[in-house]
Amino acid sequence: MNKIIKYRFLLLSISLVYLIGLSSCGTTKPSTSSTASVYNEDLGAFRMALATYKAPTKEVNKTENTETTTISQGSKNVPTSDLIAVDALLSRLAEKNSEFKSLPGYRIQLYTGSDSDKANAVKNKASYILSRHGLRAESVYEQPLFKIKAGYFISQLEAQRQLVAIKDDFPEAILVPDKISMSILRARYQDIKEED
């Protein structure tokens, strides 16, 4: 009998704890105060000051020479002052561009390895096959590797097009970024102009 009383007491205490726990889980309503104020603080002292961009003003020199001196070009009259300014800009651009010795571009690498005999065999095969595509194979030795490269391309799309065309003959060929000498580019585009 004593066990039954202990068991009932235990069940009653567990039920009571359970009910107290459930009643405390109810939602509470937040108390709102009618005296609540809106947060307002001037943070201007801590903000970083940004410089505003002012467009440069161009002074127009309206002299008699610039307004009246014109070149007749067909039915249009072109002021010479504009042509002089354009010529000056073009000469500055040409001078700046002449400072470049090379440009970034792409080449097709057909072979890379330390075996010079295999490199020469690939170059001979490439010379025959690539002549159909207008490309020339060159061997480059960068210690300790021999590399056979072909073509000079400025755009990756142009290089990729040629790579796809020769991929059947050279399955290991890949595109590699490379510096292209300005003298090579000038010669290449001179040939294109002569063809036109």
Q: Per residue, what are the HEC states of 86-107?
A: HHHHHHHHHHHHHCCCEEEEEE
Domain harbouring 184, CATH code: 3.30.70.1070
Give pLDDT tens digits along the chain (196 positions). 677 887 777 777 787 777 677 666 656 565 555 566 787 888 777 777 766 666 555 555 555 444 445 555 555 665 566 778 888 888 888 888 777 788 899 999 999 999 999 999 999 999 888 888 888 899 999 889 999 999 999 899 999 999 999 999 999 999 999 998 888 777 777 766 666 5
- 3 state SS of 5: helix
Q: Dihedral sign, CA of 122, 127, 129, 134?
A: positive
Helices and strands in the chain, H and E counts: 6, 6
- Is 172 inside any structural domain? yes
With contact defined as beta carbons under 8 Å apart, do 173 and 167 qualify? yes
Q: Are 133 and 160 in contact (CB under 8 A)?
A: no
pLDDT of residue 118: 93
Tell me phi and psi for residue 138, to 5 degrees: -130, 145
Q: Which residue has the tokens 């025959």?
A: 128
Evaluate whether 100 touches 185 at the Cβ level (below 8 Å). Answer: no
In sequence order, the 6+-apart residues with CB closer than 8 A to the CB of 70 are 77, 78, 79, 80
Kindly state whether residue 48 falls inside one of the protein's structural domains: no
- Which pLDDT score is estimated for 134? 84
Q: How many CB atoms lie within 10 A of CB 23?
A: 8
69's tokens: 């001196």
- Number of independent structural domains in the chain: 1
Residue 167 lies in a domain: yes
Helix ranges, 100-140 (H): 116-130
Q: Cβ(69)–Cβ(80) under 8 Å?
A: yes
pTM of the complete model beyond 0.75: no
What is the pLDDT, as a whole number, of residue 67?
46
- Any idea which residue has 């300005």 for tokens? 182
Quick check: is 86 in a domain? no
pLDDT of residue 65: 45
Name every residue whose Cβ is closer than 8 Å to that of residue 18 and which is 6 or more positions away in sequence. none
Task: State the amino acid at position 165 in one-letter form.
Answer: A
- Write out the residue range of the structural domain in which residue 118 sits: 105-195
For residue 150, is it within any domain? yes
Eight-class DSSP state of 45:
T
pLDDT of residue 117: 93
Would you say 111 and 169 are in contact if contact means Cβ atoms under 8 Å apart? no
Note whether residue 181 is domain-resident: yes
Residue 15 placed within a domain: no
Residue 188 lies in a domain: yes
pLDDT the model gives residue 159: 93
The encoded tokens of residue 64 equal 């008699």
